[in-house]
Amino acid sequence: MVREERFTVRASQTSILTLGQAKIHNPVSHMCGPDGSVCAMVDEGDRVLVNPYPGQIKGKGEPPTFELAGPRQHIYFDPTKLKAAIVTCGGMCPGINSLVRSIVLQLYYIYGVRNIVGVRFGLQGFCPRYGHELMDLNPEVVQNIHGRGGAFLGMSRGPQPIEEVVDSLERQNIGLLFMIGGDGTLHAGQAIFKEISRRRLKVGVICIPKTIDNDICFVERTFGFQTAVEAATRAILGAHNEATGSPHGVGMVKLMGRLSGFVAAYATLALTEVNFCLIPEVNFDLDGPRGLLAQMEHRLSSRGHAVIVVAEGAGQKFFEGQDLGRDLSGNVVLGDIGLYLKKRIGEHFHKLGIELNLKYIDPSYIIRSVPASSEDRIYTGFLGHHAVHAGMSGRTGMLVSLWNNHYVHVPIELAITHRRQVDPQGGLWRAVREATGQESLLDGGGK
């Protein structure tokens, strides 16, 4: 089970590449405080520890550190000559529009960049065969988009030919590309960065991680996650009300989380009415005296109702041997654990002669398309600002991250080496176990 502090990171792995020497005076330095002091600039030597625990770094040589994000004294790109592009990829996520707006306003007002374009419908927008035109972006165009759900620029899944994408960047004279997306987008961003480097082009690639699942390594929290947890909590409350309103009532909510159960875990903690939380990282059985069905029997006999929260990627062992294919992003299609549990639970209690009132709720698509919360709008504002600072300074092949309460630069290559997951031996899962009161649901290998 991956936990960032459990695998070794070398200092050399955290280096951020640049397009060349930054020689242009940064216009941000002219922003003064009321006492005449200059706006705080980031020194090139400012770093943040990858692992803040002394026991993990003592006696191991130079500890690995991330470069601190923020404005530098000098920038690489001439704002009057730069053409910047923004592309949003993958699935919907709360906060996308707020982030696009933040990037546009920062480029336009702070750095004076006037040539900003939006790429329509993800990486498809770079490929002429799809016929998507670039959208000119300015403060007027994006002035109200931060209050909307959905994706202003549109999105698409699935890979596109990297050579074709870079051909388009070169043909359109784009010097700085901001890519907003999840794990698949980060892999695409790394491939685009490599192809740009192979061609020796002076084009910067800056990524901003986007995923409700919160599963990007070396990112404390991806934007949209907080909004998703809030929306999920409302669904769980509805499930609890349904469960308590009927004899032998069961409310079950399926939440997003293919390989990482952060949404399910945090939503469970946000509303401590959940009795069973099932996530991909923690195995469970259905049958046997310690399995889920037996523990549900005990719960219903003692309290009369139960609430189950299940992440979409939990319990995939029950679908072993089934070839469900792959989706447009190349991911293995998951078995529908929610419908499977609904069927198995219903059959089990029917055999026992117990009338069950089970209500199943799947709010996935509602959760991902809602407007961002105030907290996520603030967060995307900071991410957008730091992404622009990094890009204008000539940095490339990196993503902007919140790490150890600081905004930092993380090489894309490092971020995609592992997937962030809930640690079954960590404090988060312990808190979930304490909140639900659930015991181990393993019965020695049974299903």
Domain boundaries of the chain, sorted by first residue: 4-222+372-415, 225-368+425-436
Banded pLDDT at 210 (limits 50, 70, 90): very high
pLDDT band at residue 263 under the 50/70/90 scheme: very high
pLDDT at 11: 86
Whole-number percent of the chain with pLDDT over 70: 94
Rounded to the nearest 10°, the torsion over CA 237, 334, 226, 416 is 160
Please compute the mean of the pLDDT values over residues 66-88 and round it to a whole number.
98
Q: Residue 90: which of 158, 144, 6 has the closest Cα?
A: 158
pLDDT at 327: 78
What would the CATH number be for the domain defined by 225-368+425-436? Answer: 3.40.50.460
Q: What is the pLDDT of residues 346-399, one digit of tens each?
A: 999 999 999 999 999 999 888 988 999 999 999 999 999 999 999 999 999 999
pLDDT digits (tens, 9 = 90+) for 31-48: 756 555 667 789 999 999
**Looking at the domain that runs over 4-222+372-415, which CATH code has it been given?**
3.40.50.450
Q: Give the pTM.
A: 0.93
Query: Residue 52 pLDDT more than 90?
Result: no
Angle separating helix axes 183-199 and 162-171, nearest 10 degrees = 60
CA distances from 101 to 75, 104, 141, 181, 373 (A): 22, 5, 9, 16, 15
pLDDT of 447 = 46
Phi then psi for residue 337, to 5 deg, are -65, -30
Between 328 and 260, name the one with better pLDDT.
260
Average pLDDT over residues 282-303: 96
Q: Over 80: is that where the pLDDT of 135 sits? A: yes
Give the pLDDT score at 9.
87
Alpha-carbon distances, residue 418 vs 251, 413, 421 (angstroms): 34, 10, 9
Which of the residue ranges 13-17, 129-133, 319-323 would you say has the lowest mean pLDDT? 319-323
Q: How confident is the model at residue 437 (pLDDT cuts 50, 70, 90)?
A: very high
* 213 is annotated as an active-site residue: yes
Residue that has been written with the tokens 């906060």 in this structure: 95
Reported as a single tens digit per residue, the pLDDT across 2-16 is 455 556 788 889 999
Quote the pLDDT of residue 54: 67
Quick one: pLDDT at residue 37? 60
Distance CA 38, CA 15 (A): 28
| Higher per-residue pLDDT: 138 or 442 | 138
State residue 103's pLDDT score. Answer: 99
Q: In this predicted structure, which of 58-67, 111-120, 166-175, 185-194 has the lowest mean pLDDT?
A: 58-67
Average pLDDT, the chain: 93
- Residue 179 has phi, psi (to 5 degrees) of -110, 125
Q: What is residue 445's predicted lDDT score, i.e. its pLDDT?
A: 46
- Mean pLDDT for 205-212 is 97
Is residue 338 within 8 A of residue 193, CB to CB? The reply is: no
Q: How confident is the model at residue 444 (pLDDT cuts 50, 70, 90)?
A: low
The enclosing H or E element of 364 equals: helix 364-369
Which residue out of 35, 46, 183, 213 is catalytically annotated?
213
| Mean pLDDT of all residues in 410-414 | 98
Residue range 57-63: mean pLDDT, rounded: 69
